[in-house]
Structure 1
Amino acid sequence: MISIDPASVSTRDNYKLLIGSIAPRPIAMVTTMNRDGVLNAAPFSFFNIVTANPPMVSIAVQRKPDGTRKDTAANAVAGGEFVVHVADEGYGEQMNRTAASIPSEESEVELAGLTPVASSKIRVPGIAEAKVRMECVLERVVELGGDEAGAPSCDLLIGRVVCFHVDETIYEAGRIDAAALRPLSRLAGDDYARLGERFTMERPL
């Protein structure tokens, strides 16, 4: 067993250890809107459930090298709203295109050829291609990480889900059919994974 002190290696090395071992990771494609009405989209694999009462999800958005917020975090904090989409095979290639670095006045949604769809309870549109999307209001933003000077390296967005949109083809009796959803997950480097073999283990009483 190799023991590594994270303080003795670079941030990049710690990043590689994390993404290589914490895998597969679910992917959220998040849409936000800036003050000029430009619809931003970007994928994030530092994504998970927070609680079901009320339903909340978390997105960890790493900051730019200069310490400023990325468009997703900046827009979510300024507008207080965002839409979380579960990445699936049906629009995987388009989702990947939204990771491109383009100016904030340009839309990744347009770049990727995705279809905006109006939300029910918030102003920020979602993406029609996704089988699951969640309209969220910003519950809290937590600034985390950073250097010795105290500048944060990450914005943890906690979103409270105010509306779920689920495609009829994957929904039955209140449950999501994972096989029909065909979710994508993230590995290290440029690698992704599809839903693989499943098995059941009963929880102990």
Structure 2
Amino acid sequence: MLSIDPSAQTERENYKFLTGSIIPRPIAFVTTQSSNGIVNAAPFSYFNIVSANPPMISISVQRKSGEMKDTARNIMEKKEFVIHIVDEDNVEQVNMTAANLPADESEIEVAKLMLTESEKISVPGVKEAKIRFECILEQAISLGEGEETSTDLLIGKVVQYHIEDQLYDKGRIDPHGLKAVSRLAGNDYAKLGKTFTIARPE
């Protein structure tokens, strides 16, 4: 087996190794709002559950040349954001929001998505998503090597769930109806595919 020391690799090489091996990764499509009211939207695949009590989820936002991205900056300032699950029906529009736009331009307009009001926070969500989570910022953690910050790890407390009626039955979510997609490496994505069940030992 090949053995590799990450400290001997470049940032890009480590990025490629991690994103190529930690697969599939769920995708968080995040809406935030700037101080001047511009709604920002962007996808992130460094995303997962943190806790169920209280319900908390995290996204990790990588900085570019040490500069904080709009999503992280808006969350730090407003303390609110909405996370949406990316699915087969909206993935192409979501991909369009990954373009590098100036902070005063909204990716929502570029991708021709529709906004919908949130119930408990001021940041709107996206109507096209089958599931969305209204979040308030629980904790922001700056990560990096030495004095340089390269990553903003943001943990949000979920204050409201939204889900399409037909996907939810007696507390269970229909994964095949949701049709969530996941991120692989490069420009590749994956669908849910075949599922199987293994009982846990008692």
Indicate the TM-score class for this superposition, using the shorter chain for normalisation: over 0.9
How far did 1:151 drift?
1.3
How far did 1:51 drift?
0.4
The letter for the 2-side match of 1:186 is R
Q: Given the alignment, which residue of 165, 184, 189 partners 1:187?
A: 184
The letter for the 2-side match of 1:166 is I
**Aligned equivalents of 1:78 and 1:44: distance in 2?**
19
The letter for the 2-side match of 1:109 is I
Identity %: 56
1:126 aligns with 2:128: no
SS in structure 2 at match of 1:145? strand
Counterpart in 1 of 2:5?
5
Q: Which runs of 4+ in 1 moved over 6 A?
A: none
**Aligned equivalents of 2:125 and 2:135: distance in 1?**
11
Counterpart in 2 of 1:60?
60
**Aligned equivalents of 2:8 and 2:180: distance in 1?**
36
How far did 1:174 drift?
1.0
Q: Please give the per-residue CA displacement for 1:110-154, whole angstroms capped at 9, x wherever unaligned.
A: 1100000000000000000000000000000000123x4x11100
**Aligned equivalents of 1:22 and 1:196: distance in 2?**
17
Counterpart in 1 of 2:48?
48
How far did 1:98 drift?
0.5
State how many pairs are aligned: 202
SS in structure 1 at match of 2:89? helix
Counterpart in 2 of 1:175?
172
How far did 1:68 drift?
1.6
**Aligned equivalents of 2:103 and 2:54: distance in 1?**
32
**Aligned equivalents of 1:117 and 1:110: distance in 2?**
14
Q: How does 1:46-195 map to 2 (within 5 A)?
A: 46-65=46-65, 67-146=66-145, 148=146, 150-195=147-192
**Aligned equivalents of 1:175 and 1:118: distance in 2?**
25
SS in structure 1 at match of 2:149? coil
The letter for the 1-side match of 2:9 is V
TM-score, normalised to structure 1, is 0.97
1:202 aligns with 2:178: no
The letter for the 1-side match of 2:70 is D
**Aligned equivalents of 1:11 and 1:140: distance in 2?**
25
How far did 1:13 drift?
0.5
Q: Please give the per-residue CA displacement for 1:150-169, whole angstroms capped at 9, x wherever unaligned.
A: 11100000000000000012
SS in structure 2 at match of 1:121? coil
Runs of 5+ unmatched residues, structure 1: none
**Aligned equivalents of 1:64 and 1:81: distance in 2?**
22
**Aligned equivalents of 1:154 and 1:169: distance in 2?**
37
**Aligned equivalents of 2:21 and 2:144: distance in 1?**
20
**Aligned equivalents of 1:53 and 1:9: distance in 2?**
38
SS in structure 1 at match of 2:13? helix
Runs of 5+ unmatched residues, structure 2: none
The letter for the 2-side match of 1:175 is R
**Aligned equivalents of 2:16 and 2:165: distance in 1?**
38
